[in-house]
Amino acid sequence: MDRRSPLHTGGHRRNALWIAAMVHRISGLALACFLPLHFLALGLAIRGEAQLDGFLKWSANPYVKLAETGLIFLLAVHMLGGLRVLAIENLPWREGQRRLAVVAGGAAIVVAALFLLSVVI
């Protein structure tokens, strides 16, 4: 029988809660990298409506819409993951933490899919 702990076998990396923590960190980092670009794009309005409109016309291409869908997923999954963390830290412990993490991920996928549908249809 293998008596090594999951930390030594790498088994923890298949744990839903470890994956949830990792998704929360990576989505947060990705959002922190994206935000300056988002702010720079909106800041184009300082130079006039036409500048912002030019950027928005470029952003109408399908590849950008696909990237925006990814960003909506990152925003939703980071917020829902954060709510899970706040609940763990501030509410009495409850069973089913893995299920909550999976529901958070699933809900973020649904929100992103709805966004993609709304721009495609």
Partner 1 sequence: MNVRLYILQRATAAIMVPLVVAHILVIFYATRRGLSAAEILGRTRGSVGWGAFYALFVLAAATHGAIGVRVVASEWTGLRGHRLDILMWGVGMLLATLGLRAVIAVVL
Where on the chain is the footprint of partner 1 (CB under 8 A)? Answer: 25, 28-29, 31-32, 35-36, 38-40, 42-46, 49-50, 52-53, 56, 59-60, 72, 75-76, 79, 82-83, 85-86, 89, 111, 114-115, 118-119
Q: In degrees, to the nearest 5, what angle opens at C-alpha 88 toward C-alphas 79 and 99? A: 75
Judged by beta carbon, residue 12 or residue 25, the one nearer partner 1 is 25
Comparing CB distances to partner 1, the nearer of 4 and 40 is: 40
Least Cβ distance, residue 11 to partner 1 (angstroms): 20
Smallest distance, partner 1 to C-beta of residue 74, A: 11
Q: Which residue number, 11 or 43, has a Cβ lying nearer to partner 1?
A: 43
Residue 98 or 110 having the CB closest to partner 1: 110
Neighbouring C-beta atoms of residue 72, cutoff 10 Å: 17
Q: What angle do CA 24, 29, 32 make, to 5 degrees?
A: 125
- Beta carbon of residue 28, minimum distance to partner 1 (angstroms, whole number): 5
CA distance 48 to 43: 10
Q: Find all residues with CB under 8 Å of 13, minimum gap 6, and list them.
A: 19
Token pair for residue 108?
């973020």
How much of the chain is helix, strand and coil, in % rounded to 5?
85, 0, 15
